[in-house]
Amino acid sequence: MKSSSKLFTFGLVAAWYSSNIGVLLLNKYLLSNYGFRYPIFLTMCHMTACSLLSYIAIAWMKMVPMQTIRSRHQFLKISALSFVFCISVVFGNVSLRFLPVSFNQAVGATTPFFTAVFAYLMTLKREAWLTYVTLIPVVTGVIIASGGEPSFHLFGFLMCIAATAARALKSVLQGILLSSEGEKLNSMNLLLYMAPIAVVLLLPATLIMEKNVVGITLALARDDVKIIWYLLFNSALAYFVNLTNFLVTKHTSALTLQVCLTS
C-alpha cells in the first residue's frame, strides 16, 4: 500500500472513530441524562438525515455518480442490511438507557469476535490463526468485566450483546455489497438506498412502541429549544459516522473495522 493510500485510510479511520464516539456520547446524554427516552425515534431521525444528506450529496452536489439497483436480489441484500442496521442501532441505544458508556464500549470490544464468526459463515473467509488467538483475551476480559460491573443490568447487557452481534453482521454484509463485482455500490449510494428502507422499517415501530413521540418532542422544544438542535446535530453526525463506516470497510475489511473500534 502506498504511503498516500495509508495516510488516506488512517484519516478515514480517525474521522470515523472520533465521530462514532461523539454520536455515542450524545446518544447517552439524550437517552439517559436529558431524559429523552425514545431510542427508536432517535434512530429514525438518524436514518432520515442519512436519506436527505445522501440525496443532496449525490443528486444535487454530484459528489459521486448516482448508481441504480440492478436486480431484485441486490435490493433484497440492501433491505437485509437496513434491517440488521436498525436492529444494531436500536438495541444499542436501548442498552445506553441501562448501562454506562464505558461498559457499553467494553461489551462492544467483542465485535471482532462476532465479525470473524459471521465472515467465516457467510464468505468462508479465514483470517490468520494468530488473529483468532488475539480475540480470546478480549472476550475473556468482557466476561470478567461483566461480573465485576457495579451498574450491571441484565436487560441492558442482553441488548448490548444483541447490538454487538448485529453490528458485526452488518459489517460483513456491507463488505460484501461494497466489494461484490456484480452488485458493487460506492459508499454514498449504498447509504442512499439503505437509509430510506431503514426509515420505512422504523416508522411503524416508532408509532406502535413510542406513541405520540413527535408531540412529546414538540412539547419539549417549547420548554427547551436546545432539544431540536441536539437532534439535528446528532442526526447529521450519524450521517458522517455511517458514511465513514462504509468507506473504512471498503478500504480495509469488516474485521479490521471492528478491531479499530475496539483498539
Picking from 211, 250, 202, the residue whose alpha carbon sits closest to that of residue 46 is 202
Q: Is residue 6 part of a domain?
A: no
Give per-residue pLDDT as tens, 85-132. Answer: 889 888 988 888 888 877 787 787 777 778 888 888 887 776 666 666
CB 12 within 8 A of CB 248: yes
Q: Is residue 140 part of a domain?
A: yes
Q: How many domains does the chain have?
A: 1
Picking from 67, 57, 12, the residue whose alpha carbon sits closest to that of residue 185 is 67
Alpha-carbon distance 191 to 95, whole Å?
25
Query: 165 to each of 33, 66, 168, 185, 236, how far by Cα in Å?
Result: 26, 31, 5, 24, 25
Picking from 58, 145, 70, the residue whose alpha carbon sits closest to that of residue 106 is 145
Q: Is residue 45 part of a domain?
A: yes
**Long-range contacts at 127-134 (CB < 8 A, ≥ 24 apart):** 127/255, 131/255
- The sign one gets for the Cα dihedral 119, 121, 123, 125 is positive
The pTM assigned to this predicted structure is 0.74
Q: Is residue 4 part of a domain?
A: no
Q: Is residue 5 part of a domain?
A: no
The neighbour count for residue 214, using CB atoms within 10 Å, is 13
Domain interval for residue 39: 11-262
Give per-residue pLDDT as tens, 153-186. Answer: 889 889 989 998 998 888 888 777 766 666 677 7
Give per-residue pLDDT as tens, 194-234. Answer: 999 999 999 998 998 888 999 999 999 999 999 999 999 99
Residue 45 phi, psi dihedral angles, 5° rounding: -60, -45
CB 196 within 8 A of CB 46: no
In the 8-state DSSP scheme, what is residue 63? S
Give per-residue pLDDT as tens, 51-63. Answer: 999 999 898 988 8
Q: Is residue 2 part of a domain?
A: no
- The sign one gets for the Cα dihedral 45, 47, 48, 53 is positive
Q: Is residue 3 part of a domain?
A: no
Alpha-carbon distance 177 to 123, whole Å?
12
Q: Is residue 148 part of a domain?
A: yes
Helix spans in the chain (H) = 3-28, 39-55, 72-96, 101-108, 111-123, 129-148, 154-179, 187-209, 213-223, 226-251, 254-262
